[in-house]
Amino acid sequence: MRLTLGPVLYAWPRERLLAFYEEAADWPVDTVCLGEIVCEKRRVLNGNEWLTLGERLAAAGKEVLLSTPVLIESEATLRRLRRLCENDRFLVEANDMSAVHLLAGGGRPFAGGPGLNVYNPRTLAVLAERGLCRWSAPPELPQAALAAVHAQRPRGVHTEVFAFGRVPLAHSARCFTARAENRQKDRCGKACFADPDGRLLHTQDGQPVLVLNGIQTQSAHTLDLLPQLEALRRLGVERLRISPQSTHTATVVRAFRAALDGADPGECAARLNACIPVGPCDGFWHGAPGAGCRGAVD
């Protein structure tokens, strides 16, 4: 099984972002997804700088994917998307149907990100006919449903599972980080740069429940499927995705790699626990409320 490092979903300053990828070049991940996919106002790097970064990672032996924005509202974003889809250097990961359309018309293979609504084998087959060569299952898809899609996948299509990270749950035209600051979106002052892992919301009785990340809302708990590694192996999925966080991502990657290479799963899982800010969750995998956690292997 290969490891994919998902795109950085949070607003990190340029230096932090570049330092992160400088380190990631040495991590045991096979694939790295690049691009600002949540809010284009963040614009830490421009298109050419992302490509340069891609070359740097490719030179370090990584497969590089360019990830497209999750929500496209304006013509300007669409024009940037088109340029991204027309790049002939790296595989593109589509995160909305606009990107799917532009990529399907280009005649080259493309990947589907976890934001595409691929929930059944026929949908996967229709997209594969149009060039989709890899899909990242929506994190809320239960194990049984995932297994069925994977079992019936078209020849040559690879399956990826979102295995670690806070789960992106919803997107809006509104910026909830700006709202938390009582600011309007157009005058947000890039408030999200203060939150390297998003901004944690609690229920009124003190339970951490959600994370605000600009226009994106995530789970407060970190999806952790390392305890399900045997089940994932049995399914035969080709890839696991790890979503970056501001600290300990290297430890997370190495724990997954070690577990995949045969290290004691309990010990690897324990290493991960120290990397999880609020607590783990795996409910979606079991077809249960996503915030729940069974943890141990069933």
Partner 1 sequence: MGIKAGAGRPRHDGGTSSSKNRRMELVCPAGGLPALRAAVDNGADAVYIGFRDDTNARHFPGLNFDPEQAAAGIAYARDRGVRVYLALNTYPQAHNLDRWLGAVDRAAELGVDALICADIAVLDHARRHHPKLPLHLSVQASATTWAALRFYHEHFGVRRAVLPRVLSLAQIETLVAKSPVAIEVFGFGGLCVMVEGRCSLSALLSGAAPNLCGVCSPAEAVRFEDTPEGLVSRLGGWLIDRFAPGERAGYPTVCKGRYRLGGHVYYAFEEPTSLNTLDLLPALARAGVAAIKIEGRQRSPAYVAAVTRIWRAALDALAAEGGAFVPRPAWQAALTGLSEGRQTTLGAYHRPWR
Of the candidates 19, 170, 270, 297, which one interacts with partner 1 according to CB under 8 A? 170
Q: Binding string to partner 1 for residues 266 to 285, with x set by CB under 8 A, is what?
A: -----------------xx-
Contact with partner 1 (CB under 8 A) among 8, 53, 141, 260: 141
Amino acid identity of residue 263, one-letter, is A
Task: Spell out, one character per residue from 180 to 209, where the chain touches partner 1: x when CB under 8 A holds, - when not.
Answer: x---xxx------------xxxxxxxxx-x
Distances in Å between the Cα of 269 and the Cα atoms of 38, 111, 253, 287, 293 are 29, 29, 12, 22, 14
With CB under 8 A, what is the number of residues at the site for partner 1? Answer: 70
Q: Which of 22, 73, 86, 264 is the binder for partner 1 (CB under 8 A)?
A: 73
3-state secondary structure of 181: coil
Among 161, 167, 225, 242, contact with partner 1 (rule: CB under 8 A): 167
Letters for 30-69 (x = contact with partner 1 by CB under 8 A, - = none) are ----------------------------------------
Q: In 3D, which of 51, 55, 132, 121 has the Cα closest to residue 97? A: 132
Answer yes or no: are the C-beta atoms of 290 and 219 closer than 8 Å.
yes
Q: Which is nearer to partner 1, 2 or 179 (CB)?
A: 179
Residue 30, Cβ density class (10 Å: 0-12 exposed, 13-18 middle, ≥19 buried): middle
Q: Report the C-alpha gap between 129 and 146 in whole angstroms.
A: 20
- Rounded-to-integer distance, Cα 105 and Cα 11, Å: 32
Contacting residue, 3, 5, 128, 212, with partner 1 by CB under 8 A: 212
Tell me whether residue 79 or residue 233 sits nearer to partner 1 (CB atom): 79
- Say whether residue 173 binds partner 1 (CB under 8 A): yes
